[in-house]
Amino acid sequence: MTESKEKFPEVQGGGSLILAWQIKNKPVLVVGGGEVAAGRILNLLNADAIVTVICPAEGLNPEVRHRIAHNQVTHIDRKFEPSDLERLPSPSTPDSPLGPPAMVLTAVDDPAASTQIWKLCQAARIPANIADVPPECDFYFGSVHRDGPLQIMVSTNGKGPRLAASIRKFIGQTLPVGVGDAIERIGLLRAKLRELSPEIEEGPKRMRWMIRVSDRYSWDEMCDLSDEDMDNLLRYYKPNKVPDIDVLKAMRGGTMSPEDIDVFDGSFGFSLGI
- How many angstroms separate the first and last alpha carbons of the chain? 57
- What does the longest C-alpha to C-alpha distance in the chain come to? 83
Residue among 185, 180, 149, 145 at smallest CA distance from 165: 145
CB 56 within 8 A of CB 77: yes
Please tell me the distance from the alpha carbon of residue 89 to that of residue 102, in angstroms, as a whole number: 13
Q: Is 181 in the active site? A: no
Identify the active-site residue in 77, 132, 231, 265.
Answer: 132
Q: Which amino acid is at 260?
A: D
Q: Which residues contact 182 (CB under 8 A, 6 or more apart)?
A: 176, 219, 220, 222, 223
Strands 143-147 and 150-154: antiparallel
Query: Long-range contacts for 38-41 (Cβ within 8 Å, ≥24 apart)?
Result: 38/63, 38/64, 38/67, 39/141, 40/105, 40/107, 40/129, 40/131, 40/141, 41/67, 41/73
Q: Which amino acid is at 258?
A: P
CB 74 within 8 A of CB 89: yes
Please tell me the distance from the alpha carbon of residue 81 to that of residue 65, in angstroms, as a whole number: 21
Radius of gyration of the chain from its Cα atoms, rounded to whole angstroms: 25
Give start and end residues of each alpha helix (H) in the chain.
Answer: 35-46, 62-69, 111-124, 161-174, 179-196, 203-216, 219-223, 227-234, 245-250
Active site residues: 132
